[in-house]
Each structure stands twice: as structure tokens, then as C-alpha cells.
Structure 1
């Protein structure tokens, strides 16, 4: 069952509209492939494809838990995860763009 789901996801990845129209990757390109690699258990490949995926997923999980349990440290940690995610997105995008041409 799990393998069928992974196969279905792999065959139904959406095309990046930004890249289709402008010919260059967008800052979100690689997210789907990275998530699929993570679901397959390929953690390092996932990190290489989209370095911000793990901090983003951690942030979403913590946000959900923080809404329910109101951790005293939750808001501060969410801010750090947000800035880490944004930094990783910007840096990895700059690297991707510089090697694309």
C-alpha cells in the first residue's frame, strides 16, 4: 500500500509554472521531489534536493502542537525555524540559480 502511494505521488508531481514560463527554477522548485525522497527514507537526498524541507516540516509540526499545548518556548522556536527556513531557501536558491546558467 505504502509503495503504491509513493508510486502514485511520483507519477503525479506538479510542474512548476514559474519555471515553465520563465525558464528558471523558482525558490520552491525541488520541494515535491525532496518530500518524496524523504518519504522513501532517503534523508540525505531530500536535504540535497531542498535543504529547507526539514525545517519547514518541523516548523509546521511544532506550530500544530504549539496551538494545542501552548509551549512556553514555542513562539521563539517557531521564529528561529522560520528564519532558518527562509535563509536556507534564499541561499539554496542563489546557489541553484548561479549554477543553472
Structure 2
């Protein structure tokens, strides 16, 4: 029986340049979350906990109208990008 790990896309940036990109760890974090390892998922890719609500809210906003949807999307997007950049810098140090 194969697992989700067998179907993960390898990072081209890591293969070519030898260091992880800002998106490295997202697939592994999703896999860890699906296996119930929520703390491990956070350590693997901290922005997972802002990206999932962002994606769900964007999808929900196509079907339902929310009063402050653009503000919520902007806040979640800014938080996600900030966490991604900060995590990337911390990994590179």
C-alpha cells in the first residue's frame, strides 16, 4: 500500500541550488496534519495554519457573501506571507 509521501512533488529549487524555497515543507506539513501530527506540521511549515483558513474562506466566499470578506482575506493573506517570509529567514540562518 502506498502513502501520500510517494506522490509528493520534489522541490526544483532544492535540487538545482541546494537550499529550500519558501514553499518547501507545505506538502509534508499537509501529510503530517492528515496523520494527526499537528505540532509536527507546525514545525514543518508554520504558515499551514493560516493558509488553510485562507483557502477555505476564499472558496466559501465564492458561494456565500460575507460582510467583511475582503478584509478577512487580506488579513489572512498578509499573515500567511509574513509567516512564510519569517520562517524562510529563520531556516536560512
Instruction: Give the TM-score taking structure 1 as reference length.
Output: 0.87
For structure 1, which runs of at least 5 residues remain unmatched after alignment?
none
Structure 2: gaps of 5 or more residues: none
Aligned counterpart, 1:38: 33
The aligned counterpart of 2:48 is 53
| Equivalent residues in 2 for 1:2-81, closer than 5 Å | 7-81=2-76
Show structure 1 runs of 4+ deviating over 4 A: none
TM-score when normalising by structure 2: 0.94
Q: CA RMSD in A?
A: 1.1
Structure with bigger helix share is: 1
Q: Shift in Å at residue 14 of structure 1?
A: 1.7
Look up the SS of the partner of 2:21 in the other structure.
coil
